[in-house]
């Protein structure tokens, strides 16, 4: 432990147990007499108190370590502690209740996609979709409110970047935890007490574009640097990741639009919107719910502007709350909307063949609030009464129509034949006895390929084939 860490712990002695508690994710000091901690996503007030002098000394010690000014002229400080925890300080009289400090802890245990799945923040299908989006070098914007888990999700997304890519990260205060071997990290610097030496994100982004980046990861865009970032996205620097403060996908695009207008570049509004819609491919929204859980609520594709110059988006998957338990736990499920993204044709060619048409089919994804599915297989069949087995009915064999004969008609045997008589179907008409004898005499001598009607004799109706003789 460094000397600075020891001195800082001495100044923050009343809250040191919370700094060492792995379940505490944030410490909020609202003046010397009020301290809150966030444990498992829920805020709890403690009995800890400071003295005003001791709390102010701790704040100035933090500023001295990071080399940033903190005084009555510059009463705000945004920095990080030696362990990576993020701090923000506001001094009185701006902070009316006394020195206000927020410490967002840095966890040594790295957050991964599997842990997000175990926590219920995403499902395996959603995580696979985000992995494919990063692998395809799509430009992603992670949005959400304060404390919704934007930076944590950005850390997880960065793990999907290939190990052989050159990555440049740009942040106000370093929070990203990338582990790739070829990593260049930049951190902005505010002006000193004389107003000199400021290096903002826009300046760092300008340098990053000249350092041959394969990927650019910006911690958060909130100002005019957004315009330069969009220019980079639209000029071949694909796979850019960043975060923004917004609640919905449409709000995210409008936030980027308003940030671009702060750059001072005078462009028509429709041109700025076209830049935003062209640069951003996916918007991933996060939200922290009342029970303290954090979930991905939207994975949305950005479409080109409509004919009126308005933003268009299509949701690929969203999380929908359906209930809340008696203990306050939020229940819900991920819903796939059946939309096929514009990059669908690239998935199979890039090694993501499992993301086929069925993958994007409409339906629920592992709902946890719905009643269990009915039993399937043998159990389901056993629960239902089986109908008695019946042999399939067979069609009766075709029956030849009985030949109508006159009871008093004499039957004359045919003369002996020189060759076997060909089998013929019995006639369904009744012939005159004299004509019948002639047919039986002449038929064996005729060709088997009959080209004329051997029964035809004259044009009498009584001897026409297919007619019955009337008596």
Count CA within 13 A, CB hemisphere, residue 396. Answer: 3
**DSSP string covering 180-234:** -SSEEEEE-B---TTS---B-HHHHHHHHTTS--SEEEES---STHHHHHHHHHT
Contacts (Cβ under 8 Å, ≥6 apart) of 22: 107
CATH (one of 2.60.34.10, 2.60.40.10, 3.30.450.90, 3.40.50.9100) for 3-104: 3.30.450.90
Cβ-contact 318, 297 below 8 angstroms? yes
Q: Edge-to-edge strand order for the sheet containing 24-30?
A: 42-45, 35-39, 24-30, 100-104, 86-90, 76-80
Task: Report pLDDT digits (tens) over 106-157.
Answer: 776 778 999 999 989 999 999 999 999 999 999 999 999 988 889 899 999 9
Task: Report pLDDT digits (tens) over 32-43.
Answer: 999 999 988 788
Provide the whole-model pTM: 0.71
- pLDDT of 40: 80
Q: 3-state class of 24 per DSSP?
A: strand
Of 244, 83, 241, 243, the closest CA to residue 167 belongs to: 241
Please report, for the chain, the start and end positions of each structural domain, with discontinuous segments joined by +: 3-104, 113-365
Of 36, 19, 13, 15, the closest CA to residue 97 belongs to: 36
pLDDT above 90: residue 185: yes
Task: Report pLDDT digits (tens) over 370-388.
Answer: 434 433 333 333 333 343 4
Task: Report pLDDT digits (tens) over 331-366.
Answer: 999 999 999 999 999 999 999 999 999 999 999 985
Task: Report pLDDT digits (tens) over 289-301.
Answer: 988 889 999 999 9
Q: How far apart are CA 345 and CA 461, in angstroms?
A: 75
Q: For the domain 113-365, what is the CATH superfamily, name and number? A: P-loop containing nucleotide triphosphate hydrolases (3.40.50.300)
Task: Report pLDDT digits (tens) over 261-278.
Answer: 988 888 889 999 999 999
- pLDDT of 458: 47
pLDDT above 80: residue 423: no
As a dihedral over the C-alpha atoms of residue 138, residue 144, residue 149, residue 154, rounded to 10 degrees, the angle is: 20
Of 305, 306, 99, 69, the closest CA to residue 189 belongs to: 69
- pLDDT of 140: 97
pLDDT band at 453 (very low <50, low <70, confident <90, very high): low
pLDDT band at 189 (very low <50, low <70, confident <90, very high): confident
pLDDT band at 412 (very low <50, low <70, confident <90, very high): low
Q: How far apart are CA 269 and CA 164, in angstroms?
A: 39
Contacts 24+ apart (CB under 8 A), 350-356: 350/132, 350/135, 350/136, 351/135, 352/132, 352/135, 352/136, 354/128, 355/128, 355/129, 355/132
pLDDT band at 443 (very low <50, low <70, confident <90, very high): low
Distance in Å from the first CA to the final CA of the chain: 128
- pLDDT of 283: 97
Same fold, 3-104 and 113-365: no
Q: How far apart are CA 271 and CA 309, in angstroms?
A: 9
Structural tokens at position 195: 């107003």
To the nearest 10 degrees (0 to 180), the angle between helices 249-261 and 225-233 is: 110
Cβ-contact 31, 98 below 8 angstroms? yes
Assess whether the previous peptide bond of 222 is cis (omega < 30° from 0): no
Average pLDDT, the chain: 81
The rounded percent of the chain whose pLDDT value lies above 70 is 77
Of 286, 204, 202, the closest CA to residue 244 belongs to: 286
Please say whether the dihedral angle defined by the alpha carbons of residues 244, 249, 254 and 257, taken in this order, is positive or negative: positive
Please say whether the dihedral angle defined by the alpha carbons of residues 104, 109, 112 and 114, taken in this order, is positive or negative: negative
Q: Edge-to-edge strand order for the sheet containing 363-365?
A: 183-187, 167-171, 215-218, 241-245, 140-144, 282-288, 294-303, 312-324, 330-336, 363-365
Q: 3-state class of 135 per DSSP?
A: helix
- pLDDT of 385: 37
Structural tokens at position 310: 């308005």
- pLDDT of 65: 79
- pLDDT of 396: 53
């Amino acid at each position: 432990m460094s000397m600075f860490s020891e001195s800082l712990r001495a100044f923050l002695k009343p809250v040191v147990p919370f700094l060492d508690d792995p379940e505490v994710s944030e410490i909020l000091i609202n003046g010397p007499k009020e301290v809150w901690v966030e444990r498992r996503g829920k805020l709890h007030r403690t009995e800890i108190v400071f003295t005003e002098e001791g709390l102010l000394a701790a704040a100035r010690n933090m500023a001295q370590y990071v080399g940033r000014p903190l005084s009555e002229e510059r009463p705000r400080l945004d920095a990080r502690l030696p362990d990576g925890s993020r701090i923000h300080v506001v001094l009185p009289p701006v902070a009316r209740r006394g020195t206000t400090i927020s410490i967002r802890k840095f966890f040594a245990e790295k957050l991964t996609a599997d842990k997000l799945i175990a926590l219920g923040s995403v499902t395996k299908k959603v995580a696979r979709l985000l992995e494919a989006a990063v692998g395809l070098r799509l430009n992603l914007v992670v949005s959400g409110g304060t404390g919704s888990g934007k930076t944590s999700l950005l850390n997880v997304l960065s793990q999907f970047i290939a190990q052989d890519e050159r990555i440049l990260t740009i942040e106000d205060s370093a929070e990203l935890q990338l582990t790739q071997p070829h990593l260049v990290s930049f951190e902005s610097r505010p002006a000193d007490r004389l107003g000199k030496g400021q290096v903002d994100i826009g300046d760092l982004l300008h340098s990053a574009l000249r350092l041959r980046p394969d990927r650019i990861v910006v911690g958060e865009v909130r100002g005019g640097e957004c315009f330069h970032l969009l220019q980079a996205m639209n000029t071949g620097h694909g796979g850019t990741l960043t975060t923004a403060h917004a609640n919905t996908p449409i709000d995210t695009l409008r936030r980027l639009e308003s940030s671009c207008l702060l750059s001072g570049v005078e462009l028509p509004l429709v041109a700025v919107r076209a830049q935003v819609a062209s640069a951003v491919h996916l918007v991933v929204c996060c939200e922290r719910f009342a029970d303290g859980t954090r979930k991905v609520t939207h994975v949305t594709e950005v479409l080109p502007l409509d004919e009126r110059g308005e933003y268009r988006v299509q949701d690929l998957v969203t999380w929908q709350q359906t209930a809340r338990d008696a203990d306050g736990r939020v229940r819900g499920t991920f819903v796939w909307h059946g939309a096929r993204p514009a990059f669908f044709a690239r998935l199979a060619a890039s090694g993501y063949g499992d993301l086929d048409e069925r993958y994007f089919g409409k339906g629920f994804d592992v709902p946890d609030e719905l009643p269990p599915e009915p039993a399937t297989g043998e159990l389901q069949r056993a629960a239902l009464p089986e109908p008695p087995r019946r042999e399939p009915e067979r069609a009766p064999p075709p029956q030849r129509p009985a030949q109508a004969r006159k009871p008093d008609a004499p039957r004359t045997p045919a003369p002996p034949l020189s060759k076997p008589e060909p089998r013929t179907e019995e006639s369904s008409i009744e012939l005159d006895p004299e004509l019948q004898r002639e047919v039986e005499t002449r038929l064996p001598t005729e060709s088997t390929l009959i080209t004329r009607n051997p029964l035809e004799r004259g044009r009498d109706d009584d001897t026409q084939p297919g007619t019955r003789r009337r008596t």
